[in-house]
A and B are shown apart, each in its own frame.
Chain A
Amino acid sequence: MIALLALGLAVSLSGAVGILRMPDVYLRIQCSSKTVTLGAMPVLLALVVAKGPVTSYGGRALIVAALLLVMNPVATHALARAAYSVGIPMWPGAVVDQAAATASGAEPPPGDAGSGRAAATGGAGADGTTEDRGR
């Protein structure tokens, strides 16, 4: 249990230092998701091991672990997509931008079908009106 706790805290601490020191939004998003997956899960597992899985502590730690595992990739992906579409520049040392070809072309396909207004505001945002929103 001490080993699980130490592993989770070490990964969380390194993720926090990475969020402080990384030069770019996208690299910081990577550090954030690593922190949740490998930093929070061992701590919750340590709590389950220490208290037992059917006690109130262990059971709620398992619920929190399931919630984090489901919600964190969704939130991280949405945030990365928003950061890219707002136009936050990458770190100058980045070597490849594979989404540049699709983003500079036509409209990005909206997730919900038949929402012309969402596509219209997205088109207006691509012209640079969303530039000052990200600052």
Chain B
Amino acid sequence: MIAAIGVACLVEILIAGLLLVRVGLGPTVCDRIVALNTLSTQVTLAVLLFAAFADRSIYLDVAIWLASFSYLATIVWSRYLERGLL
């Protein structure tokens, strides 16, 4: 079971690498924001899985922080794109 969780963590890191390619070569800003939004979710899952794999419950707070505040970036960026600096 621990091995399965470790493998899942590695697959999530692979997925994050795939999404970083889209962050790098997205033609518009919105492509990059979409990829970053998904990337934050996958990194949250990777941190949770790594906390379960390494049996360190202190890492769970990192995952909760990421899940709480990563969407703020998307909302702020979309508000800026829509209305400007206000």
Interface residues of A (CB under 8 A from B): 1-2, 5, 9, 12-13, 15-17, 19-20, 25, 28-29, 31-32, 35-36, 40, 43-44, 47, 50-51, 56-57, 60-61, 63-64, 67-68, 71-72, 74-76, 78-79, 81-83, 85-86, 88, 117-118, 121-122, 124-125, 130, 133-135
In the complex the two chains form, is A68's CB within 8 Å of B41's CB?
yes
Min distance, Cβ B60 to any Cβ of chain A, angstroms: 5
Given contacts A12-B12, A28-B31, A64-B67, contact A47 B49 (CB under 8 A): yes
Residue numbers in B under 8 Å from A79 (CB-CB): 30, 33-34, 37, 74, 77-78
Residue numbers in A under 8 Å from B11 (CB-CB): 9, 12-13
In the complex the two chains form, is B30's CB within 8 Å of A86's CB?
yes
In the complex the two chains form, is A81's CB within 8 Å of B78's CB?
yes
Contact count A vs B, C-beta below 8 Å:
167
Residue numbers in B under 8 Å from A122 (CB-CB): 82-83
Choice from A17, A50, A124 contacting B5 with Cβ under 8 Å: A50
In the complex the two chains form, is A130's CB within 8 Å of B34's CB?
no
A11 vs B52: C-alpha distance when bound (angstroms): 21
A103 vs B14: C-alpha distance when bound (angstroms): 39
Other A-B contacts than A1-B1, A13-B15, A79-B33, 10 sampled, CB-CB below 8 A, are A5-B5, A16-B19, A20-B18, A50-B5, A63-B64, A67-B68, A74-B71, A78-B78, A121-B86, A135-B28
Considering only CB atoms and an 8 Å cut-off, how many residues of chain B contact the other chain?
A: 47
A40 vs B12: C-alpha distance when bound (angstroms): 10
Choice from B38, B49, B86 contacting A16 with Cβ under 8 Å: B38
Residue numbers in A under 8 Å from B83 (CB-CB): 118, 121-122, 125
**A-contacting residues, B17-42, CB 8 Å:** 18-19, 21-22, 28-31, 33-35, 37-38, 41-42
Residue numbers in B under 8 Å from A28 (CB-CB): 22, 31, 34-35
A79 vs B32: C-alpha distance when bound (angstroms): 11
